[in-house]
A and B are shown apart, each in its own frame.
Chain A
Amino acid sequence: MSQPEIQIEGLEVFFGDGPERTRVVHGIDLNVAQGESYGLVGESGSGKSTVLRALVGLVPDWHGTMSVGGESLQRLGRSKEFYRRVQMVFQDPYASLHPRQTVDRVLSETLALHGIKDGVDARIDRLLEQVGLGGGFRFRYPHQLSGGQRQRVAIARALAPEPKVLLLDEPTSALDVSVQAEILNLLSDLRSEFGLTYLMVSHDLGVIGHMCDRVAVMQTGEIVETLEVDAMRKLDAQHPYTRHLLDSALRSAGHEGMGEAQRSAG
């Protein structure tokens, strides 16, 4: 493995202007290798989604260095190549698809934006096939689709420019567990088929544990711990906040928690 696909050093993000300007991400470092699936966990407000937004240029006020696929990133604005390489899937499929555009229009517009002109028709069919939707879905509007089907369309849209990196911002948290399983399986399949790199944000440790190789735990804008998923499964975490998260996840999944004794011994 040569160069990491995503490299972030000393990233600081600020929101607001003048006296209101507050630092919401406090200098984080992150390396994601090519073909790796990397997870960011933490509760709402910990800054995990902000990191993704800074990467794709949706946050104007940041410091530090970031590069994707060897291309170092400017403050705002990204090159065409960047957007072909990096695509994002958002949390809420109800909000991220245009309500008055058919699936066909959503996908063909994306293709046109990336300058793909030939074989658009066949490509759309193939994209829908890849995300497990038949051609019958091509001329439907979002309101004619279920939540899981919408998220499949959002994934198809992300795959349209044949990216190398997918940024996944809570891709299943708006879905039912049964549908979540289908979407997670789809994401795993796509990763192995196209050799994609994933940077995935979630507050669900079960999902992260299932999908990712390595995990960074964020709290109030800082990475408090990074660990391998195997270590996470063995509940071998150092930082008290990570242990708290693991404990909550296990107890809400109906397992016995780690318990106070083990927690203080660990």
Chain B
Amino acid sequence: MSNLLDIENLSVRFPTRSGTFEAVRGISLSLGKERLGIVGESGSGKSMTGRAILGLIRKPGEVTADRLEMQGESLLDASPKRMRAIRGKHISMIMQDPKYSLNPVMTVGDQIIEALRTHEKVGKAEAYKRALEMLDAVAIREPERVMKLYPHEVSGGMGQRIMIAMMLIPNPEILIADEPTSALDVSVQLQVLEIMDRLVRERGMGLIFISHDLNLVAGFCDRVAVMYAGRIVEVCEAGKLHEAKHPYTLGLLNSVPDLERPRPRLEALQRDPAWREAPSVSAML
């Protein structure tokens, strides 16, 4: 079976006054019909990886790769027009904070319908009906009422579910979720994740789940790639995370306060400069 995404030796660079800053330093990964988690701290390059796939790195930022292919089609060589067609239709991205990613002057319904009609030739009535069904699928009650609301009139959890509805309605093959729940409360977080999980599973999509929360990712993904300073330091099966060996992965696991196993002190992560220089581990299938 061919992969949905193949990435080899991807780098993202930004020129600065004090030389070039490499946000992503030569990572390789591929995505099948699976859920791949990318974990790391802020600044580890995990979000930049997601944005690079979608061609969302702006000048003067620079993306290079030996291969960046979606089902055999090179994304690096795609024209801006082709990229616009790919975004949404084939690859969608859910951003962190619904407050900043929904259009504040457009009703929820209009935004979802726009997302659908940009990528598919459907009549207004049909689009309305499908938007309603989609809202229903993300467990929003009274979808007719919600369609008429503006983003500021909905709660954070609801906003994020609307984002999910909007991103999934063109039926993309790949979904990139960049910290989709970190702006939400714990009690809502789980609900949003469950909805996302169900839809991804039902539609047989590939998911890249970007998060700093290792435990959350482990419970939710099939494979986990741990990033540090722009490189992948470890890749493991999500179920075998407790067998992880890299000190950085262990450090991340140990720094979370655990409700059931209290400790007098949390282990602060000791960073080893050698981790930066170690070659990137490949997450190719």
Contact = CB atoms under 8 A, between A and B. Distances in A.
A207 interface: yes
B156 interface: yes
Contact of A233 (B41, B193, B252, B259): B259
Given A177-B214, A252-B216, A204 B186 contact: yes
Interface stretch (A61-69, A101-109, A133-141, A181-189): A181-189
Given A181-B255, A181-B268, A210-B266, A251 B219 contact: yes
Given A177-B252, A180-B255, A185-B265, 16 more contacts: A43-B185, A43-B188, A44-B185, A147-B42, A176-B212, A178-B251, A181-B267, A206-B256, A209-B259, A210-B263, A233-B260, A249-B259, A251-B190, A253-B259, A254-B218, A254-B219
Interface in B200-246: 212-216, 218-219
A147 B41 CA distance: 11
A204 B259 CA distance: 10
Nearest to B182: A173
A143 interface: no
A233 to B, nearest CB: 6
Contact of A203 (B185, B193, B268): B185
B262 A252 contact: no
| Pairs A-B, 10 closest by C-beta atoms | A210-B257, A181-B255, A181-B266, A43-B185, A254-B215, A178-B269, A206-B257, A254-B219, A176-B41, A209-B259
Interface residues of A, number: 35
A191 B256 CA distance: 20
A182 B265 CA distance: 9
Nearest to A204: B186
A207 B185 contact: no
A205 B190 CA distance: 14
Contacts of A204: 186
A203 B214 CA distance: 18
A5 B164 CA distance: 46
Given A176-B212, A205-B186, A252-B190, A181 B258 contact: no
A207 B218 CA distance: 20
Contacts of A244: 187
A179 interface: yes
